[in-house]
Amino acid sequence: MSTTTLDHGHDHGHDHAHDHPHGFARWLFATNHKDIGTLYLWFSFIMLLSGGVLALMIRTELFKPGLQFFQPEFFNQLTTMHGLVMVFGAIMPAFVGFANWMIPLQIGASDMAFARMNNFSFWLLPPAAILLATSFLVPGGATAAGWTLYAPLSTQMGPGMDMAIFAMHLMGASSIMGSINIIVTILNMRAPGMTLMKMPMFCWTWLITAYLLIAVMPVLAGAITMTLTDRHFGTSFFNAAAGGDPVMYQHIFWFFGHPEVYIMILPAFGIVSQILPAFARKQLFGYASMVYATASIAILSFIVWAHHMFTTGMPVTSQLFFMYATMLIAVPTGVKVFNWIATMWRGSMTFETPMLFAVGFIFVFTIGGFTGLILAVTPIDIQLQDTYYVVAHFHYVLVAGSLFALFAGFYYWSPKWTGHMYNETMGKIHFWASLITFNVTFFPMHFLGLAGMPRRYADYSAQFTDFNMVASIGAFGFGLSQVFFLFFVILPTIRGGKQAEAKPWDGAEGLEWTVPSPAPFHTFETPPQFK
């Protein structure tokens, strides 16, 4: 503040210069929701590519039977780190980036509620990522206990395990702060007249997701802290020889882990529920039922955790309960799929890239949902537990679900973020390449699993060779598709390209369509009516 003058204009200008630092400082001290959203998106994309490299190393080893490149111990480190990086480094921060960018815009807020905490919650992530990545370099290497970090394996590992635990604590703290911010922003900062039941679906799905995160992140922190004290402070929570119970770890972990998988899909549901109405030129079918279905999924997600544990010697009564509770989740999920299809039904649809990814999402996510329903059936699951069928199932939900929705959201909102239109042809190439190579990679894994190939193995019997070769070829194709996305879509769109119009999707394919006049809170992406 200048001390030599009382000229308010001058003072304001002086402050203004300090409020908007340039270069690296702009990002380091960012308190603007858009800058922080951008930081999250770049961080998650870098982590996506890193986790992708780990996955391609896994698929390289599995191209042929026998040990080609990696010892089993290192192979298991790859599978563990691939899982941790993708879940905590790629998918979750990407959705938080979308929340930061879009929620204030969609509810008419000036920014997020706690701007500096927003900055802090992002900057916890890079140190956590570095901790995870450098755990490969300590004695014994990264943890090889699987991304679930099951005891007793996790209590025997080297210092890489401690680094993973610390990284997850940091990421969990980041998630909790981000969630508090999202909840307070949505509940306290909506524009006048925007009631909860008038909010865009993306805000609803994130509000519910944020409550889930606050509920389950401390549970994960508890599980890994008990692991830490077992490792270093002489406790025996999970040591059966000293009266502990290794299966208790699984109960605690999956009480976090199951809501976690819904944390990674609910924001995707929100993005798809924004995109379909825009390109069908219709209102979302059954808005209220979509809100209630999302809330139902979130509540039910807390009572199904032990379907991950059918092979741990659970009483039959418990098996029955968890089987039926898991099947029950198919009901609200089915409601959502029905409403999406009804939204498209007889709409004046055009298929720009966001719509392609949204429709692709429904197709592949539904396959993942059906395989989940199959795995919910206890006697089937006992046969398929820890086989590649499970790997196929959750990649259909997480890659074809969460990731495809993230791509859809990027193509849909990037004109708003960058001011430029992406190249439509390049977007469509990215979509078709991703969809085809994804299915080539993961569909054969259903057959591998049904035939009995266990997951997390560096070697396998000769009869699994062909499908593994197909999967590995598909995986490299999928990886290359994302490199293509970076160089031919993201970078050209940021650098320039056609200027985006104020309402980039209004004139799509030359159709004349307008927003109905009596609705004052239509943000640019609220579905306009087809005339």
Residues identified as active-site: 82, 111, 147, 174-175, 258, 260, 262, 273, 307-308, 333, 336, 455
Cβ-count burial of 519 within 10 angstroms (0-12 exposed, 13-18 middle, 19+ buried)?
exposed
User: Rounded to 5 degrees, what are φ and ψ at 116?
Assistant: -75, -35
Distances (CA, A) of 310 to 214, 248, 323, 379, 386: 27, 14, 9, 9, 11
Distances (CA, A) of 276 to 5, 106, 225, 268, 357: 56, 17, 43, 12, 10
Q: Alpha carbon 451 to chain centroid distance? A: 30
User: H/E element holding 513?
Assistant: strand 513-514
Name the percent of the chain in helix, strand, coil, to the closest 5.
Answer: 70, 0, 25
How far apart are alpha carbons 32 and 511 in whole angstroms? 36
Other CB atoms within 10 Å distance of the CB of residue 415 = 23
DSSP string for 360-412: HHHHHHHHHHHHHHHHHSHHHHHHHTTBHHHHHHHHHHIIIIIIHHHHHHHHH
Other CB atoms within 10 Å distance of the CB of residue 208 = 24
> Rg (Cα) of the chain, in Å, rounded?
24
Q: How long a stretch of residues is the chain?
A: 531
Q: Alpha carbon 23 to chain centroid distance? A: 29
Q: Do β-strands 529-530 and 513-514 pair in parallel, antiparallel, or remain unpaired?
A: antiparallel
How far apart are alpha carbons 531 and 512 in whole angstroms? 7
How far apart are alpha carbons 213 and 217 in whole angstroms? 6
Three-state secondary structure string covering 148-208: CCCCCHHHHCCHHHHHHHHHHHHHHHHHHHHHHHHHHHHHHCCCCCCCHHHCCHHHHHHHH
* 163 token code pair: 């680094």
Cβ-count burial of 179 within 10 angstroms (0-12 exposed, 13-18 middle, 19+ buried)?
buried
Q: What's the sign of the alpha-carbon dihedral 82, 417, 505, 206?
A: positive
